[in-house]
Structure 1
Amino acid sequence: MIVRTLEECRQSERRVVAENWESTRMLLKDDNMGFSFHITTIYKNTDTHIHYKNHLESVYCVSGRGEIETLADGKVYPIEPGTLYILDQNDEHQLRACQDEDMVMACVFNPPLTGQEVHDKDGVYPLSE
């Protein structure tokens, strides 16, 4: 059995901070579960280009508000607490947090992340071996 708290993970190398977001990676590839689980904060008033070419992701909004725009068709979907979006087609998108508050998201990745990934210039996480 694996038991971890969000706070202990935040105080470790499992917390990764980037310009527009930070992610606490509570479950990673080396935990051998077949997926990774993260609590990610998208900083308020940010616009982040993301394109997970190597991963599928499911995202549940815990708090905050924003929107996601799928770049292939220009559709914009509001995000608020209780919203789940699933990037099941490796969807290239823009993720925007509102001006007033950060968005806190619970994220699941398949295949799992190793822990220190950040988006490259195209919004992609590399595929780990």
Structure 2
Amino acid sequence: VNSTLVNGQKQASPKTSSSRRDVTLNARAQLIVKQELIDHPFKSNFIFESKQGHPLGNVVLNFWLRKAKSELNIKKTLSLHTFRHTHISKLAELGVPLYLIQNRVGHKDAETTKDIYLHVTKKAEQKLDSKLNLL
């Protein structure tokens, strides 16, 4: 991550210096990107782009998510940012150390990650309950 989009315009740098980072994609995500390249060759350096090669901004992507939410009758809150929260929660459930999550999402300090994102999930609580039974 070396820049950010604001109102469809690429900025020279991300929001903060700690936001500049490399993000590893797992094998499944890499396959999805490769298939996307085959199905829709990129005209720019953006995965999500219009047919004209312009990056798709949050407004368009969130519109599509709201449409899908309505069509699928999903009751929960859904936005692009929901995926960030979910990703961080899932990493926490897997036991990934806080400092690695912090680096992955580009936070300057772990307190930001912990205070904003790391709410305890039901799965984590269940895991704790099962471990307590081993004592």
Structure that is richer in strand per residue: 1
Which TM-score bucket, shorter chain as reference? under 0.3
Q: Which has the higher contact order (CA 8 A, sep 6+)?
A: 1
Structure that is richer in helix per residue: 2
With normalisation by structure 2, the TM-score equals 0.20
With normalisation by structure 1, the TM-score equals 0.21
